[in-house]
Amino acid sequence: MEKITNEIKQIAEELEKKPEDDSKWNDLGIGYYLLGDYDQSVSALQKALEFNPLKATYHFNLGNSFAEKNEPEQAIHHYLQALHLQADHIPSLNNLADLYEHTGEPEKAFELFRYLTKISPEDPLSFFNLGNFHLRQNRHIEAAKCYETAINLDPGFADAYFNIAWILQKSGVPQKALEYAEMGLNAEPEHEDLKKLAEQLKS
């Protein structure tokens, strides 16, 4: 925290000399975001956009700050602005999907999560996130398929092993669940949730 505070002070001093530097306002906004001061973060990021309104990253960062302030409409607006400027801005697509789900629009969320797997078919995280969506909707078979795809793309994806093991445990297949838990621990031996789950399954 102290390091971030010092960086904020330094950026503020630089902005006094060059107040039109949009990248510094963005850095300042990120600094305040990391400190949890979302009001100051919003203020700084809005300043960055005043000087450079065509930067997708700035809209994304501002959307994140509004989301933390529990202002979903403003957050959605800025994620959409980011996507208007850069249609394949994956962080904005991910966060927009999360927000749609959070605000009670699961159909929109699903379309975005699925779209992400189409535009980044080699990214295991896209399939993992789609799997998590299915899991939250209690569609366990669909979720497991997504996690399997994530593992095929990245055999070291420990969280995907954990989620499949958890699904299998809840489905009453403990031996198969243990197999996945142990495969996950082979990939990441210090994964605490996998260690706990494996112990439960062994007992």
Q: What is the pLDDT of residues 109-164, one digit of tens each?
A: 999 999 999 999 999 999 999 999 999 999 999 999 999 999 999 999 999 999 99
Question: How far is the C-alpha of 11 from the C-alpha of 29, rounded, in Å?
Answer: 10
List b or e across 138-153, with b for residues whose CB sees 16 or more CB atoms inside 10 angstroms. Answer: eebeebbbbbebbbeb
Mean pLDDT of 68-97: 97
pLDDT range class, residue 203, cuts 50, 70, 90: confident
Mean pLDDT of 34-41: 97
pLDDT higher than threshold 90 for residue 101: yes
pLDDT range class, residue 1, cuts 50, 70, 90: confident
Mean pLDDT of 45-60: 98
Residue 28: partners with Cβ closer than 8 Å, 6 or more residues away: 8, 11, 12, 15, 44
Of 74, 71, 26, 79, nearest to 50 by C-alpha is: 26
- Mean per-residue pLDDT of the chain: 97
According to the model, what pLDDT value does residue 179 have?
97
Residue tagged 């997708």 (tokens): 56
The helix-helix angle for 124-136 and 90-102 (nearest 10°) equals: 0
pLDDT tens digits for 153-180? 999 999 999 999 999 999 999 999 999 9
Instruction: Give DSSP secondary structure letters for 18-72.
Output: -TT-HHHHHHHHHHHHHHT-HHHHHHHHHHHHHH-TT-HHHHHHHHHHHHHTT-H
Question: How far is the C-alpha of 4 from the C-alpha of 28, rounded, in Å?
Answer: 10
Q: How far is CA 194 from CA 35, 130, 148, 180, 203, in A?
A: 31, 21, 16, 9, 14
HSE, CB side, 13 Å, CA atoms: give it for residue 53.
2
Question: How far is the C-alpha of 199 from the C-alpha of 181, rounded, in Å?
Answer: 10
Q: Please tell me the pTM assigned to this model.
A: 0.87
